[in-house]
A and B are shown apart, each in its own frame.
Chain A
Amino acid sequence: MTSLLTIEGLTVTLPVAGKRKPVLRDINLEIGAGEAVGLVGESGSGKSMTARSIGRLLPPGAQTSGSITFDGKPVLELKGSDLRSYRTEGVAMIFQDPRAHTNPVRSVGDFLTEAMRTNMGMKSSAADARAVELLESVGIDDPKRRMQQYPHQLSGGMLQRVMIASALAVRPRLILADEPTTALDVTTQAEVMAILDTLRREHGVALVFITHDLELAAAVCDRTDVMYAGSIMEQQSSDALDRDPLHPYTAALVQARPSISSTSDRLAAIPGRPVSAFEAPNGCAFAPRCRFAVAECSAGTPPLVAVEPGLSRCIRIDSIRGTMTAGEVSNG
């Protein structure tokens, strides 16, 4: 598969109280055309920052090193009309909270057709017709009426479908979905995911799917990257993730999920709290919370090494693999 997006050694720092603090460390990621890649991890692990780097939406003052290449173009160096056309035909983004990400005083139709009219030079009648088609394709009834309505007149799930429609409006080749279902209730979640998945397969759009939900990632994505403290901890195919995790952090995440098949008095928790990239200790960022940690773990930042069938950033992976999800569970 040819690579659509390649991220190499991406490091992002933000100015915090006069000092530069890293939020992403040495991210390497490759996404092929039409491929779906999941990014999972706790809050603050850098999932959204990775997506925002790809969409060039980093906050002002952010400094980046490393490279992002999209279809041969250096994303981080794009300017002006190149950047606009990259955002139009290259990437589109779907956000966690659709209500905050729409201008409340503009109608749905206006929101959907704006990019088509300004960037693709479509006439407003043609753009309207296409917007109606798009709304139909994301399962919205009576799209003509919805076009006239304003964001506050639509439910959260409905509005998220409008967001998906707007992402498709510009015919992107990669969709960045930043927790698109977190703000929705469970049944709506399933519908929205189904729409995303169908559209991805029908249009051959690549997908970066950010979520807290390992099962959701497994259901939708070909590959999943697990992130912690601004680094990728492990990468492998989504369905193998919970059967055979390649990093103690993933194993701990898998164990922390409630299970439908078995009842337990307490849910397993990972001791300690998640740390940001700039709080991470020397050596392995997860070491202080890891029940397999040994002295060597804190010695130096472990590299992301190939471990069949994926990649892992754990130096002990060969000796502890297969034992991580079994046995005693720490209750913190």
Chain B
Amino acid sequence: MSILEVQSASPEPIEYDDVKGQRKGLGLTGWIAVAVLSVMVLITVFGPMLYTVDPDNISLMDTFGPPQPGHPLGFDGQGRDLLARLVVGGRTSLLGPVIVVIISTLLGALLAFSAAWIGGTYDTVVSRFIDTMFAFPGLLLAIIAVAIFGPGLMAASIALAIGYTPFVARIIRSAVLRERNLPYVSALTVQGLGGLNISIRHLLPNVAGIIIAAATLSYGYALIDLAALSFIGLGVQPPQSDWGVMVAEGIPGLLSGYPQESLYAGLCIIIAVGAVNLLGDRFAAMAEEE
């Protein structure tokens, strides 16, 4: 082999992206999480149309019955079809946190933007108010609200949303504050643009990544908290189905050797929350990469 040949064999081009270890986009874990969540949402939305077994139909002959043709997961302690109840229960379990996230993000963003933009005494008052709110756990607020307004998904969700607001507000406020102090904001200010205009048209899009990450992560927490409320009987009321309710209703079976109901509902919660948290972490990492 001649020297020329050796020289002509050019070295492999270096993949700079690998060297820096930067990942663009969601990455594999992110896409797996998206896939899992999409499947769950699709099943809960369209499942009842395809799997037409009535989730509330009680068949006492089949109490704790094992899987059989037409009923792939078997029956619960009252002889209701487990798969049908899981699918319908997913609707409330997945929808409740959406209410929490929307309300807490809107309230939190409103507080955060006004505090970061106006600054001064107003910012101090809002920040101290947020700090004070941290002293009240969201669950405690929700329990108080349920005590006042009666149990149910709506009251629990709204109360939980108020409990979550300080967390969301604090994250968004620090992001907006950083963005607000960038020089381009003074350039816009001196062009005569108002605070509302700059906040909505410039600051909001530039901190949107962080807001989405915070919202996704709080969705996971809200799912668990709402399931917990339903578990202790303050959220979704039986006989309506919900994963939290199902875990609670499965306890007698758990004690007598039929753990399916609690187990399946618990697994659904774990898978959903796990996927949401993975996704939230990716969103947070992406917001930071920007």
The chain A residues found within 8 Å of chain B, CB to CB, are 55-57, 60-61, 84-88, 91-93, 95, 97, 100-106, 114-115, 118-119, 163, 166, 169-170, 176
Binds A, one of B96-104, B168-176, B201-209, B216-224: B201-209
B120 interface residue per 8 A CB criterion: yes
Assess whether A57 is in contact with B190, with CB atoms less than 8 Å apart: yes
Q: What A residues does B119 contact at CB under 8 A?
A: 60
Assess whether B192 is in contact with A115, with CB atoms less than 8 Å apart: yes
Assess whether B192 is in contact with A85, with CB atoms less than 8 Å apart: yes
Other-chain contact of B190, A61, A92, A104 (Cβ < 8 Å):
A92
State the majority secondary structure of interface residues on B: helix
Q: In this complex, what residue of A is CB-closest to B203?
A: A103
Q: How far is the CA of A88 from the CA of B190 in the complex (A)?
A: 8
Q: What B residues does A60 contact at CB under 8 A?
A: 119-120
Q: How far is the CA of A92 from the CA of B190 in the complex (A)?
A: 6
Other-chain contact of B184, A55, A101, A115 (Cβ < 8 Å):
A101
Q: Which B18-51 residues sit within 8 Å CB-CB of chain A?
A: none
Q: Using a Cβ–Cβ cut-off of 8 Å, how many residues does chain B contribute to the interface with A?
A: 19
Q: How far is the CA of A298 from the CA of B133 in the complex (A)?
A: 55
Q: What A residues does B183 contact at CB under 8 A?
A: 95, 97, 100-101
Known: A60-B119, A103-B184. Is A119-B192 also a contact (CB below 8 A)? yes
Q: How far is the CA of A28 from the CA of B63 in the complex (A)?
A: 92
Q: In this complex, what residue of A is CB-closest to B179?
A: A103
Q: Per-residue 0/1 for B87-127: is the Cβ within 8 Å of any A Cβ (1 yes, 0 no)?
A: 00000000000000000000000000000000110000000
Assess whether A170 is in contact with B201, with CB atoms less than 8 Å apart: no
Q: How far is the CA of A247 from the CA of B197 in the complex (A)?
A: 46
18 A-B contact pairs sorted by A residue (CB < 8 Å): A56-B190, A60-B120, A84-B193, A87-B192, A92-B191, A93-B186, A95-B183, A101-B186, A101-B187, A103-B202, A105-B206, A114-B193, A114-B201, A115-B191, A115-B193, A119-B192, A119-B193, A170-B192
Assess whether A57 is in contact with B197, with CB atoms less than 8 Å apart: no
Q: What B residues does A176 contact at CB under 8 A?
A: 190
Q: How far is the CA of A84 from the CA of B191 in the complex (A)?
A: 8
Assess whether A55 is in contact with B188, with CB atoms less than 8 Å apart: no
Distance in Å from the Cβ of B186 to the closest Cβ of chain A?
5
B182 interface residue per 8 A CB criterion: yes
Other-chain contact of B186, A57, A104, A105, A114 (Cβ < 8 Å):
A57
Q: How far is the CA of A119 from the CA of B192 in the complex (A)?
A: 7
Q: How far is the CA of A95 from the CA of B186 in the complex (A)?
A: 10
B189 interface residue per 8 A CB criterion: yes
B69 interface residue per 8 A CB criterion: no
Assess whether A55 is in contact with B190, with CB atoms less than 8 Å apart: yes
Q: What B residues does A55 contact at CB under 8 A?
A: 190
* With A84-B192, A88-B191, A97-B183 already in contact, 15 other A-B pairs whose C-beta atoms are closer than 8 Å: A57-B189, A57-B190, A60-B119, A60-B120, A61-B120, A84-B193, A86-B192, A92-B191, A95-B183, A100-B182, A115-B192, A118-B194, A118-B197, A119-B192, A170-B192
Assess whether A95 is in contact with B187, with CB atoms less than 8 Å apart: yes
